[in-house]
Amino acid sequence: MYDAVTTTKGANPAVPAGPAPAAASRRNSAWRAWLIALSTLAMVHCAKHEYNNVDISGASYARDFSLLDTSGKRRTMSDYHGKTVILFFGYTQCPDVCPATLSELARVRRDLGSDGAKVQVLFVTLDPARDTSELIARYVPGFDPSFVGLTGSDAEIAATAHEFRIFYQKVDGSSPSTYTLDHTAGSFVFDSTGHVRLFIRAQASADQIEADLKRLMS
């Protein structure tokens, strides 16, 4: 490109030199257009939110549920529009992960201050046989009075777990009633319009979750 512009200097007057500047102008215009496109892409990338947890915006799964709250009322995601929803699957007799996760989410909601009122935590039991509505009603709000527990029939829980790609499996104990469950330990975050946005890893810290929620709600 540089030679095409400069070789016209000192040329034989009989040789027309006019087209070279025009070609250079076209090349310069193309170069400027490429730079503008590159700058635009860079700005779009910089504007995109970077999260500590997994961004699953637009996922074809984890779209909705239809379950019962502890009063027996049918609930779906539309009931919580306007809230940033965190959905977690577990069971009340879980010895470690479930109480640890709910305690962490309670801390996050508390640390958000006034923005905590915009967050709704939902707990879905994977053990409807033992987790009665009465038990869930005592267990879940014990971490935070605003937390809501959800249940359903075995078929409804299985369908919801499938929709959210949640793995769960019974592990036999010393008696038929003392089994435990292996299950996916992460949580799903929905924005205020009811669209799934994030998957919170089980290893995420309260500070990381809080930072992600602040970005999402900003």
Residues 136 and 182 in one domain: yes
**CB within 8 Å of 77: residues ≥ 6 apart:** 63, 64, 65, 85, 190, 194
Residues 23 and 81 in one domain: no
Please tell me the predicted confidence (pLDDT) of residue 80: 98
Please tell me the predicted confidence (pLDDT) of residue 45: 41
Residues 125 and 37 in one domain: no
Residues 104 and 12 in one domain: no
* pLDDT tens by residue, 152-174: 999 999 999 999 999 999 999 99
* pLDDT tens by residue, 171-213: 999 999 999 999 999 999 999 999 999 999 999 999 999 999 9
Residues 69 and 12 in one domain: no
Residues 108 and 160 in one domain: yes
Domain count, the chain: 2
* pLDDT tens by residue, 127-139: 999 999 999 999 9
Residues 17 and 110 in one domain: no
Please tell me the predicted confidence (pLDDT) of residue 64: 98
Residues 31 and 100 in one domain: no
Question: Of 47, 63, 81, which residue sits at a domain end?
Answer: 47
Q: Which residues of 172-197 are buried (b: 16+ CB within 10 A; e: fewer)?
A: eeeeeeeeebebbbbbbbbbeebebb
* pLDDT tens by residue, 28-62: 555 555 544 444 444 434 445 689 999 999 999 99
Say which CATH number the domain at 143 has: 3.40.30.10
Nearest Cα to Cα of residue 102 among 92, 112, 111, 113: 92
Pairwise pLDDT comparison (79 vs 31), residue with the higher score: 79
Residues 71 and 146 in one domain: yes
Per-residue pLDDT, averaged over 97-102, amounts to 97
Please tell me the predicted confidence (pLDDT) of residue 38: 43
Residues 10 and 115 in one domain: no
Please tell me the predicted confidence (pLDDT) of residue 55: 97
Please tell me the predicted confidence (pLDDT) of residue 32: 59
Range of the domain at 209: 54-217
Residues 36 and 104 in one domain: no
Residues 86 and 171 in one domain: yes
Pairwise pLDDT comparison (48 vs 123), residue with the higher score: 123
